[in-house]
Structure 1
Amino acid sequence: MSTTRRTLLTRTGAAGAGIVFAGALTDLFAGTAVADPIGHRGYGPLIPDPKGLLDLPEGFCYRVLSREGDPLRSGEGTVPSNHDGMTALPGRGGRVHLVRNHENRPTAEHPVPTVEGLTYDPEGKGGCTALTLDARGDVLTERVAIAGTAVNCAGGPTPWGTWLTCEETEDKAGTSGYTKDHGYIFEVDPADPHRTGAVPLTAMGRFPHEAIAIDPRNGVVYETEDAFDKPFGLFYRFLPAKPLGGLGSLRAGGRLQAMRVPGVDDLSTIQETGASFDRVEWVDVPDPVASTTSTRLQDYGPKGITRSQKLEGCYWGGRSVYFVSSFARTSQGSAATHFGQIWRYDPDRRRLTLVVVFGPDTDIQLPGESPDNICLAPSGGLMVCEDGNGAQHVYGVTRQGEVYAMARGRQNIGTPETPEWGEFAGVTFSPDRRTMYLNCYTPGTTFAVTGPWR
């Protein structure tokens, strides 16, 4: 049997010993937390969980904060299905607000309950729920934060303490039973959801959104488009008319633009880490609400536009924005094949750089495959939710480029003969960096992981 990353991780107790890959990681983590001076490769072997939920290294433990189908503490209904993107925002008195997306389609077993004043489209089954934790990490409240949206995948936090939740669809009214157009971004205030309500931020575009990141210096919002099939998605920026104006300011509108890399039609053709492109251009999107034509299909002039398959995670670090292409496959129309990329865009230099390349399961020198949600770890590296086949892990990637398994899902959603495991999503850390919060997509489960974080 050939060696794969998963078999090696199993044999080594998932410590990730010796697994390293090449990439511009010094550049990737510039301006973030201090590197681990000892050079640890992880936290040790994963210990099988006797409860069959989540394997973690020795010294770490988890608590289940919420599971789909259980009653919401607010009494509004049941905890919705399909736990996806999430953030942890600071509250008063050491409290933490967790805002959690639910990527529900019309067939969801547990839709987000409709609540007066918080529902956009009564036929939409997606939305967000918000958990408030006390200083000890105990759940104080759990309630609906927005309802009536669709396929809420990821999003991102704002500098003023709210969450932007993104609909990963572009279905219009009359499709799938919807009564309103979908494909928008919505702002959610976890401390008081009625302050934000359910108002689409139309100027930020209507397309299959995945995630956003905000430049804290000037309020520019970067947005990824998750397009699985051709025509593939674009990378956007939104120039707000009222930058950094606080809660509700994004409703004032602005300009939506798409990225053009001169000479590059498809980012999948770039395969070498460190490859860099200067003079990146930004082109106005003619019709951001896509009234007749999808934004990625609109006319961007004779020079065209730059595309990429499966643009997903997006975050701000240092002085740059980073975004993920989960994979690209020539069999699905991409210009080239890869198993995951992380790109860095430096707006001051207008420079785009490929900083990390992921690898297939058969290549143990590269971390994971099909990266999805990503966040910065306390030690300055990355935590990556792998959305591939087989066993599902959260991988850590150190600043030195070493990969290790941080968590493994144990909830079998298949059969004993043909096991399957739900993907991980929404990895994020508490404001004090002492707790990692994590979702299992199916069955929807939210974990809080504590331990000897470095």
Structure 2
Amino acid sequence: MERRSFLRAAVTGGAAVAFGFSVTREAIAYPAQTGPSPYGPLLAADANGLRLPEGFTSRIIARTGSEVASTGHVWHGAPDGGACFADGEGWIYVSNSELGAGTGGVSAVRFDSRGEITDSYPVLSGTTDNCSGGATPWNTWLSCEETDRGYVFETDPWGGEAVRRDAMGRFKHEAAAADPDRRVVYLTEDEPDGNFYRFVPTTWEDMSEGALQVLTESGGALAWADVPDPTGALTRTRHQVPEAKSFDGGEGAYYRNGTCFFTTKGDNRVWAYDAAANALQVAYDDDLTADAPLTGVDNITGAPAGDLYVAEDGGNMEICLITPEDVVAPFLQVEGQSESELCGVAFDPSGQRLYFSSQRGPSGNSSDGITYEVSGPFRS
């Protein structure tokens, strides 16, 4: 029986499908099923148009085309993927700009220990369709171009020089997730027949040289194979290895405790790649979940408690969480912005503030992006 049919039968038959996989402290059974949120139901929308659980509050930290606080820096259009970095007693939030034709890039907002904005500035400019990316253990931000034969740029959240990393391949990049245990970086590709890649640097913490590899499947067995030409000059990278496993529209990626979680928008799935066992499971699939709350899967991040937070591109403009107990539920909803998408989900170092953006805001235009902060009693 094909795996998707097997999982559907298990769900409709009322049985839990246990794959014996651990996210953090507890084993979970895939695929996730609809259930109550650990934070309770969403309340009526607040003054910023956000429906949040009891005890949580929101603020807007940046708007496209407007100065960030009193920093003098004007926030970019189409804010997308983001991450937080510890900065002494405070932290920095970086945000991609998914604007095209050399008008994209990355900006940063710096906070002090109280969460007050102290600075904002550009980190990268002159690039195209910077969609998602990933933080590295050595505190750089890998910003990925979501365009045909796009590049990965390694940027400095403190505003130092950004470097194009050609060795990481040229394809329609989406997200990156660093795996310090195997010393590789996983990469997703936003194509209907996209691949799941890993970059194996010659020297860890140096992205200038290394091998680009693609996940393959033959006879049900998974393996990694080198991409012969990472530049994709004559043949696109996803078409160079016949056994490469295809994924329908790769989106966000997040690594934790031996597992790389990544999303695919074409089939609305969250995948879990168990790197130690070299095994792949479906952690969430809206077709296999009764009354599925999560649709339009996109950016993904994790909280200290082991919860995964998945932002919606479309859907009903929610960020949903998937708990270690394998429950999926809405965490927040943005009202009045149905033509936008949610992205850039990232926690501050304390795990008590969640950042995200509505890329096109109420108007549905990239010039109307809004970046938010949500504070509250996140469980640890």
Using the size of structure 2 for normalisation, the TM-score is 0.85
| Aligned residue number for residue 184 of structure 1 | 151
Q: What's the offset of the Cα at 1:40?
A: 7.0
> What are the within-5 Å matches in structure 2 for residues 299-448 of structure 1?
300=241, 304-328=243-267, 339-346=268-275, 348-349=276-277, 351-359=278-286, 364-389=290-315, 391-412=316-337, 420-443=338-361, 444-448=369-373
Percent same amino acid at aligned positions? 34
Q: What residue ranges of structure 1 are gaps of 5+ in the alignment?
A: 1-19, 34-38, 107-123, 171-181, 264-276, 329-338, 413-419
Q: Distance in 1 between matches of 2:39 and 2:15?
A: 19
Q: Distance in 1 between matches of 2:15 and 2:341?
A: 23
> What are the within-5 Å matches in structure 2 for residues 234-273 of structure 1?
234-244=195-205, 249-251=206-208, 253-263=209-219
Q: Distance in 1 between matches of 2:210 and 2:290?
A: 45
Q: Distance in 1 between matches of 2:18 and 2:357?
A: 29
- Larger strand proportion, structure 1 or 2? 2
**Residue 154 and residue 23 in structure 1: after superposition, are their counterparts in 2 closer, same or farther (change >3 A)?**
farther
Using the size of structure 1 for normalisation, the TM-score is 0.72
Q: Is the 8 A contact 1:154 1:166 kept in 2?
A: yes
Q: Is the 8 A contact 2:57 2:376 kept in 1?
A: yes
Q: What's the offset of the Cα at 1:259?
A: 1.1
Structure 1 runs of 4+ off > 4 angstroms? 20-26
Among 48, 52, 61, which residue is 2:44 paired with? 48
Q: How many residues align?
A: 352
Q: Distance in 1 between matches of 2:63 and 2:26?
A: 33
3-state SS of 1:388 partner: coil
Write out per-residue CA displacement over residues 401-438 of structure 1, whole angstroms, 9 at most, x where no aligned residue. Answer: 222221111243xxxxxxx2422111111111111111
Q: Is the 8 A contact 1:21 1:367 kept in 2?
A: no
Q: Distance in 2 between matches of 1:100 and 1:32?
A: 32
| Aligned residue number for residue 30 of structure 1 | 24
Q: Distance in 2 between matches of 1:53 and 1:317?
A: 32
Q: Distance in 1 between matches of 2:83 and 2:213?
A: 26
3-state SS of 1:250 partner: strand
Q: Structure 1 residue 213 and structure 2 residue 177: aligned?
A: yes
Write out per-residue CA displacement over residues 80-104 of structure 1, whole angstroms, 9 at most, x where no aligned residue. Answer: 1111111011011x11110101111
| Matched letter for residue 387 of structure 1 | D
Among 161, 166, 187, which residue is 1:202 paired with? 166
The CA RMSD measured in Å over matched residues stands at 2.5
| Aligned residue number for residue 227 of structure 1 | 191
**Residue 363 and residue 259 in structure 1: after superposition, are their counterparts in 2 closer, same or farther (change >3 A)?**
closer
Q: What residue ranges of structure 2 are gaps of 5+ in the alignment?
A: 1-13, 28-34, 362-368
